[in-house]
Structure 1
């Protein structure tokens, strides 16, 4: 890491304080890949909420959906994310439906800085079709499902603090853009408070 990049990362960690950086967006937006890269650049822990849910439940996300249904999965997801936010000082990537829960959005607002990785339909489809085990895409027309999810969820994702375009670029480029946007948001927040 260069000296200037190291200084920028140190400043950003100071601005974040005990809060979490929370990546939200649809499946395939790059929340895990970009979140992991941002955490690495800031030298803070990274947690994928879906992996944490799987660890806690000792079941995969598809198994949870199949055994208990989406409402029970969302309830567990809400509790896990609330706990991760309380632990603070980390980067969290969330499942695509997490931020649609009003309680979770409120918890993220209080304990984190939310970053919506916004991607267009073609980018999302190219990425998600590589992993057909996603419960919500177990359907004859996954593209139609994704379009419906975009209509339903994009207005809620728009409540995030920051929007970063996720597109066909190296993850380092998107991570740099996310860091710059987070830094600008936190500096504005600090100036507004002062």
Structure 2
């Protein structure tokens, strides 16, 4: 057995030869995540051996002090941390799943929430890609055995849903089957709705291709936008099942911003925490109403 410590230094990756199974052991936690890869290397026909699974996760150890609270207007991140401290007891370690088309906002928001709530952050797409042996291998696996690839996505979600205190940036596979949607019910799901125009600009300027899509960063803005619109229409039904929707457009309106790109990760983070607070309040009211007199 080999033990590899992740770069975030908050979890160990335990690999058992011949690397057909592994588990993620989180420091200071009580759960482990056994990730069983369903990838058949005979279908991949790769020359390179499978790479070890690595994980992106984060955990903040420091809290917000009295002096820090006084500096809220200077550092908007502190306002998010303060709000997170207020609602954290009510969450009781319930995991949070972020759905929606992948974007810089979605990724940064997940990490901000994890740091503020003292949760761990995972990107489910990254876990699937790493288990496959890298992005090239994952793309080949998806093209040659789409059903098997979807099973791998489900397995990742199943293992993550068995744990608590997680913020998960869920890939689009999370909303493409009733099984995966049911797994999201183990926590609270949030649809992070980012304008497609902003995502299209990110793809072109950063030269990044959304995993699992045929969108080319070298295409024109109108072409990328059109392809994103098609994906959005196909998946919006699954996104809409989320417990709450946090829209960049709505947050911009609440703040009086004319430019939606002016909405910061902290602005979105506060809105997510406010929605979580409402959901906690509703759940508490329902529990109290169900109690016998």
**TM-score, normalised on structure 2?**
0.60
- Gapped runs of 5+ residues in structure 2? 1-63, 70-78, 249-259, 289-293
Q: Secondary structure at the match of 2:112?
A: helix
8 Å contact from structure 1 (residues 100, 157) kept in 2: no
The structure 2 residue matched to 1:154, chosen from 210, 215, 236, is 236
Equivalent residue for 2:213?
Answer: 136
Equivalent residue for 2:175?
Answer: 99
Q: Secondary structure at the match of 1:64?
A: helix
8 Å contact from structure 1 (residues 65, 73) kept in 2: no
CA–CA distance in 2 between the matches of 1:174 and 1:8? 13
Q: How many residues of Structure 1 are paired with residues of Structure 2 in the alignment?
A: 192
Equivalent residue for 1:24?
Answer: 99
The structure with the largest alpha-carbon Rg is 2
CA–CA distance in 2 between the matches of 1:77 and 1:98? 7
CA–CA distance in 2 between the matches of 1:67 and 1:153? 22
Equivalent residue for 1:186?
Answer: 280
Q: Secondary structure at the match of 1:34?
A: helix
> 1:139-159: per-residue Cα shift (whole Å, max 9, x none)?
563322211111111122111
**TM-score, normalised on structure 1?**
0.87
Equivalent residue for 2:113?
Answer: 38
Q: Secondary structure at the match of 1:136?
A: coil
CA–CA distance in 2 between the matches of 1:46 and 1:187? 25
Structure showing greater relative contact order (alpha-carbon pairs closer than 8 Å, 6 or more residues apart): 1
Equivalent residue for 1:67?
Answer: 141
Equivalent residue for 2:158?
Answer: 82
Kindly indicate which of the two structures has a greater share of residues assigned to helix. 1
CA–CA distance in 2 between the matches of 1:95 and 1:160? 14
Q: Secondary structure at the match of 1:47?
A: strand
